[in-house]
Chain A
Amino acid sequence: MIFMKPLEAAQTSTLSSPGCSSRKVTENVATPPIMSSLAVNGVSCRGKVLTLDSMNPNVRRVEYAVRGPIVQRAVQIEKELREGVKKPFTEVIKANIGDAHAMGQQPITFFRQVLALCSYPDLLEDNKFPEDAKKRARRILDACGGHSIGAYSASQGIECIRQDVARYIEKRDGGIPSNPDNIYLSTGASDAIVTMLKLLVCGDGRDRTGVMISIPQYPLYSAALADLGAEQINYYLDEDKCWGLDVAELRRALNAAKQRCKPRVLCIINPGNPTGQVQSRECIEEVIRFAKEENLFLMADEVYQDNVYAKGCKFHSFKKVLFEMGPEYSDSLEMASFHSTSKCYMGECGFRGGYMEVLNMDPEVKAQLTKLVSERTAVLAALAEKARLTEEMFNTVPGITCNPVQGAMYTFPRITLPQKAITKAQEEGLVPDMLYCMKLLEEEGICLVPGSGFGQKEGTFHFRMTILPPTEKLKVVLQKIRDFHLRFTQEFS
């Protein structure tokens, strides 16, 4: 049997032997190649059934920069470090992915208690667990088949959980009703986003569904659109206006796209990823008006709704604004909004919990609530501080400019690269910001994601970094990036 290591399969060679049509064979590290024995036995060589040519061509276009080649290299480097290889750094700082717990953020105690009780109900007898956690666990278990979280649920999700989610949404939106039947629980918001897109993409040729998405964007969208063979319609966020969204730009993008496809969907990420901007209420109203005018399905990715730091910035849910615009809009605009347990102060990425909504206190209790709120506030305050620190630091570096991080958990600074570096990158067949990030990884052990992974205005370069590492470590990271940038600029001047 051939055991291939895809990540290390970088070399290819073409073998030509009697009786075989020449084909590419990848050097196998683990076992010797078997092609020669095939030829010797006189058995006819058999090309693979599943090849680059026969596979679904759409899958070849799928890229997801957040876990792309730079991250794979980072994993290799970590392995080398473990094996004792000497490097200019002792650990790789993975600032590429929005994973709070990985960076040391603590889970919320109450949530973990409820989960533990649900998974091992014998603990309901244990007096170390608070009553409210037990009550919540019992309620959830009552709604599970066989009182077990190991049972399948209905595909839409356990009903009582959808009811709870509906109540949460109602509270968030100042009482605007939410129907649990319009809520779909999913494996992370990503699953719901892809499901929605799967549903909406149809048509052939010029009738093919066009989906509007921001540049820069979270690359799940481009990956899903590539996989589905949908037409991606890019609208550019304005970096000079703190990544603001201008409806004129939406209009431009839409009209240009009408030549080649049928625009049907408008995706917007608010607060933004990778950009971290929080759209103003006026902007949201304009987007809603635009979507209605142009008969577009609105997909509002709001997974970072609880990550808002900047003073004067506030999260406005699309649903709330929609309803406040009156029945002319709230009765007709088709919309799905997405949320997740992976972000915000919970940061429970590993649970893969998300939902979409399709449209249209006793002193003991108070003590628990206070505890919960304080945990939550501490987390957010720390993030706000880190956001500020990051913006300040980067803006002191000549060649790096950084918009304020208003929300989400990333910074997306713009880097000016010397022409020599751009040329060097082209020679190596790399996008310039990938060259930059690769060097940063190799020299400093810091793993970021190049801006090309998210889309950016032609001729500009960026990188995305999370602001999740603990403050002290973050300061070190910022300094290292600063030093690296100055060195890099020097080297290629």
Chain B
Amino acid sequence: MSVLQEISSNVKNMKQLEYSALARRLKQIKEDLRQGVRKPFKEVIDVSWGDPHRGGMKPLTFVRQVLAACLYPQLLIDNKLPVDVRRRAQKLLDGCAGRSVGSYSATGGIPEILQRVSEFISRRDGGVPSDPENIFICCGSQWALTRILNVLVNAEAAFTTGVLAPASCHRTTTLSIEGLGGVVIPYYLSEEQGWELQVEELQRALESAEGACNPIALYVINPGNPAGHVQSRRSMQEVIRFASEKRLFLLADEVYQGCIYGEKEFVSYKRVLAEMGPPLSDTVELASFHSASKGFMGECGLRGGYVELVNLDPAVQKYIYNLFTTDSCAPLLGQIALDLMTNPPLPGDPSYFQFDQETQHIKSTVVKNVKKVCEAVNGLQGFSCQGVEGGAFAFPRIHLPAKAIQKAKDVGMQPDTFYCLKLLEEAGVLASPGSEFGQKEGTFHIRFCILIPHDVLEELLRRLTHFHSQFMKDFS
């Protein structure tokens, strides 16, 4: 009898991803194309990931030059690399044991990098102090989130631990909660009000959990994923007051803070909290997460993320530190990516001009994309899109005809998964179905990445528009 027949029930309880069916089909289609099978498209546009490089965006030159020089210090002797690149690489190597990125670092991260990250946070937050001792660099922000959840979720308690999270939430977060033996308490963002987070809805969600679990934390993601909303200050204050009143630990996922397109500005939960003054500013327990994977850098593969802990019980924080020690440390390349993200070239530096050009280009591309997407989608029957204020995705709603919904049921699929599968097969576009993330009963959505080159987006929209019109006709 296989030992593996008995496995952890927590793992068994993690729901299977909708994505798997689409991923399998994608693999087949890619193979077909490689073998020269004729299809209505020459290549697949895969926008199911929040991954700018995969989508065709270019890495920032300064970042890659510094990385190369850190990896292969022979390049420091070379005059081909700009002087600020070489200087930065030297400085970073000085912070590495044995001057090598192949050494372990201190648990939370290289101290000099933690110091610079804390200074970045303070600058960002208009001077609110940030202490490097409260920052832990990890192998990606999701890894850090899982670690913090590990401390919050008490699988041994009589009552299951509950974590409030958006009903439409990217799967890694909900999987982490379930995998640790916790339960997700979903709250719905108000789609008609631009995916606004309304505190009455938080109240309702909390009440629904009464007697079913022990709510300990509230997870918010701002800017959002999959919905691309940016919270207003007022909304954030309400969330903070709610967390305080209801005694909830606040988990603020802010990895998309670098992706802002509209008029709304990003302000961090930490800043809003500080500005609310005591007693809230001294008592609300907060963990905020950031990453080198999003924003203009888009270095998802380098695995660089961090968590900043605010107002934690020092005795508990000591145990959190212990927990992090078992990971040894975050990958050095990820730490370096964070350093570069938080300390880019400044005006006057030799690399500044190119850096600025590259980031401005990315920014204007995405702003253009957002506009185009909303125009295109809102111009189609059975398709509507709230404004994308931030984040990496568009999350339009598809108003599926009854026939399509029935057909999907007949083949045993979620209706929007069915839509996405057909979109992939007929138009060569891979988007993610809303059912992957959760959504209000009876509504359907698709999510696709908009951090892609403009010409790719135009092609995507061309194919999507054509497909959608046909789909609606076929199932009317």
**Which residues of chain B come closer than 8 Å to A3, judged between CB atoms?**
129, 131, 133-134
Nearest CB of chain A from residue B451's CB, rounded to whole Å:
11
Q: Is B44 close to A, CB under 8 A?
A: no
Q: Decide: B315 and A150 in contact? CB cutoff 8 A.
A: no
Determine the distance from Cα of A188 to Cα of B143 in the docked complex, in whole angstroms: 14
Nearest CB of chain B from residue A473's CB, rounded to whole Å:
13
Pick from A1, A68, A101, A227: contact of B150, CB under 8 Å: A227
Q: Is B325 close to A, CB under 8 A?
A: yes
**Which residues of chain A come closer than 8 Å to B281, judged between CB atoms?**
1
Q: Decide: A2 and B311 in contact? CB cutoff 8 A.
A: yes
Question: Are A202 and B9 also in contact (CB < 8 A) when A52-B315, A150-B53, A151-B51 are?
Answer: yes
Chain A binder among B187-195, B316-324, B392-400, B468-476:
B316-324
Determine the distance from Cα of A46 to Cα of B326 in the docked complex, in whole angstroms: 32
Chain A CB within 10 A, most for which of B4, B71, B134, B313: B313
Q: Is B279 close to A, CB under 8 A?
A: yes
Determine the distance from Cα of A200 to Cα of B323 in the docked complex, in whole angstroms: 20
Nearest CB of chain B from residue A16's CB, rounded to whole Å:
18
Determine the distance from Cα of A150 to Cα of B297 in the docked complex, in whole angstroms: 9
Pick from B102, B216, B217, B323: contact of A59, CB under 8 Å: B323
Question: Are A350 and B329 also in contact (CB < 8 A) when A54-B154, A151-B301, A296-B3 are?
Answer: yes
Q: Is A389 close to B, CB under 8 A?
A: no
Total chain B interface residues with beta-carbon distance under 8 A: 99
Chain B binder among A107-115, A175-183, A231-239:
A107-115
Chain A binder among B196-204, B219-227, B241-249, B408-416:
B241-249
Chain B binder among A118-126, A366-374, A400-408, A427-435:
A118-126
Q: Decide: B97 and A151 in contact? CB cutoff 8 A.
A: no
Determine the distance from Cα of A119 to Cα of B65 in the docked complex, in whole angstroms: 8
Determine the distance from Cα of A23 to Cα of B298 in the docked complex, in whole angstroms: 45
**Which residues of chain A come closer than 8 Å to B72, judged between CB atoms?**
112-113, 115-116
Q: Decide: A102 and B97 in contact? CB cutoff 8 A.
A: yes
Q: Decide: B102 and A349 in contact? CB cutoff 8 A.
A: yes
For B299, give the chain A residue with the smallest CB separation.
A150
Q: Is B333 close to A, CB under 8 A?
A: yes
Q: Decide: B282 and A34 in contact? CB cutoff 8 A.
A: yes
Q: Decide: A1 and B311 in contact? CB cutoff 8 A.
A: yes
Q: Is B459 close to A, CB under 8 A?
A: no
Determine the distance from Cα of A476 to Cα of B103 in the docked complex, in whole angstroms: 23
* 14 A/B residue pairs, CB under 8 Å, sorted by A: A1-B310, A7-B133, A49-B217, A49-B248, A51-B315, A54-B216, A55-B154, A64-B326, A102-B104, A145-B54, A150-B59, A202-B9, A349-B328, A350-B103
Which of A's residues lie within 8 Å of B, judged by CB? 1-7, 9, 12, 24, 26, 30, 34, 37-38, 41, 43, 46, 48-52, 54-60, 62-64, 66-68, 75, 97, 99-105, 107, 112-113, 115-117, 119-123, 126, 128, 144-146, 148-153, 187-188, 190-191, 194, 198-203, 220, 223-224, 227, 229, 264-265, 295-297, 334, 346-352
Given A1-B282, A54-B154, A64-B322, output 19 extra A-B contacts at Cβ < 8 Å: A4-B131, A46-B247, A49-B217, A49-B248, A52-B315, A56-B151, A60-B319, A62-B322, A102-B103, A105-B98, A116-B68, A146-B51, A150-B297, A150-B298, A151-B300, A190-B326, A194-B326, A229-B156, A350-B332
